[in-house]
Amino acid sequence: MRIGIVKERREHERRVAASPETVKRFKAMGLEPVIERGAGTAAAIFDEAYEQAGARLVDGPDEPLAADILLKVQRPTEDELARSRPGQLLVGMLDPYTNRDQVRTYADKGLTAFAMELLPRITRAQPMDVLSSQANLAGYRAVVEVMAAYSRVLPMMMTAAGTVTPAKVFVVGAGVAGLQAIATAKRMGAVVTATDVRPAAKEEIESLGAKFVGFIPKDAATAGGYARPLTPEEQAEQQKIVAEHIKSQDIVVTTALLPGRPAPRIVTAAMVASMRPGSVLFDMAAESGGNIEGSRPGEVVEVGGVKIIGARNLPSRLAPVASALYARNLLNFVQLLISKDGKLVIPFEDELIKGTLLTHEGKIVHPNFQSAS
């Protein structure tokens, strides 16, 4: 069986879906990795490394796109879908909530499509959890970028000329990305506070040496571990606390996302206006609608001397390590689908398969997307 990897063609994407390490593992499983030349160049993985690992390199995307299993970072382009074939397995971050029409196309093309971001949040899924592996890097990168934009320093500095006070950093959302942002800002010497509405978040925030700010509504976490949408009354209470706290902060990093919904608006224009000139806000949810009023993906907006940075594909800015982690996630998932003798055997009753399978044999099978039928 052939397993195909192509160069990612969507804008701002530098990652690749396989590494030399995972190529070796696929070979050991009896699969034949077929890789488009240059697929890993943007992630500092060159063709020679793939060849040494045992992959077959080909010119152009046609052969990998027709492989038995196609591994992708982002969802296929229309051109890539046109070259796919019935019965093919497609595995990647397919963003089905935002692209429901494309889910219908997967079914029409006869693809067996797996959306990796839909993995159930259970212990057994952790080695395949693409959201966690990529969000962890995004949280780190967010702090690196906000430091570069901040015109002062994060740690306290004591000099003969006087003492420089540490920056105050406020992190909104304590999921994987938020916790890494907290940890990174603490390592850099900032005074860190954070908020989240999930019951487990307060303890996690404090375990990293940050101070918890805010309140936790009753039953604020879903069964999958995400925050549920707040009621209007809860939103008002949260905004009141955030508005008061944000006035004294130098840096704000927002990470709040809700699966299948626009990002919740947490920081208003009035809150931004209350911050002192030179402050910086970083919106990690800018591509999903934004937590911060006025943020725009990939842009820096300045309002009254306060910078608002809208994130765009942060893991891609760390493409070598992001690709290595993502490739391992995919390897662990593909192992569920392959028997010991290298044959395709999909365990349809496995909860990891049921959670991620979008389409099969011309039908949309995931219950959350059958309205696209």
Count H helices and E strands in the chain, helices first: 12, 17
Q: Is residue 352 domain-shared with residue 276, that is, in the same domain?
A: no
pLDDT tens for each residue of 319-342 = 999 999 999 999 999 999 999 888
**280-283, strands of its sheet edge to edge:** 211-212, 191-195, 168-172, 251-254, 280-283, 306-310, 300-303
Instruction: Name residue, tokens 């797996």.
Output: 114
Q: Which of 82, 17, 80, 83 has the alpha carbon at shortest distance from 50?
A: 17
Task: Tell me, yes or no, whether 17 lies in a domain.
Answer: yes
Whether 371 is in a domain gets the answer no
pLDDT value at residue 225:
59
Q: Are residues 205 and 303 in the same domain?
A: yes
Q: How far is CA 321 from CA 57, 138, 249, 262, 280, in A?
A: 22, 11, 31, 28, 27
Classify each residue of 117-145 as buried b or exposed e, where b means 16 or more C-beta atoms within 10 Å of its C-beta: bbbbeeeebeebbbbbbbbbbbbbbbbeb
CB within 8 Å of 269: residues ≥ 6 apart: 293, 294, 303
Residue 48 is predicted with a pLDDT of 98
Residues 76 and 45 in one domain: yes
Q: What is the extent of the structural domain holding 97?
A: 2-128+319-361
pLDDT of residue 220: 63
Question: Which pLDDT value is given to residue 203?
Answer: 93
Residues taking part in catalysis: 121, 126, 129, 132, 226
Task: Please indicate, yes or no, whether residues 208 and 300 belong to a single structural domain of this protein.
Answer: yes
- What local confidence, expressed as pLDDT, does residue 221 receive? 59
| Sheet hosting strand 89-93, strand order edge to edge | 56-58, 32-36, 2-5, 69-74, 89-93, 112-115, 357-360, 363-364
Asked if 116 and 76 sit in the same domain, the reply is: yes
Which CA distances in Å does 343 have to 60, 77, 336, 339, 340? 27, 28, 11, 5, 7
The stretches in the chain having pLDDT less than 50 are none
- Considering the domain architecture, whether residues 216 and 293 belong to the same structural domain is answered as yes
Please write the tens of the pLDDT for every residue from 64-104.
999 999 999 999 999 999 999 999 999 999 999 999 999 99
- pTM for the whole thing? 0.93
Same domain, 22 and 94: yes
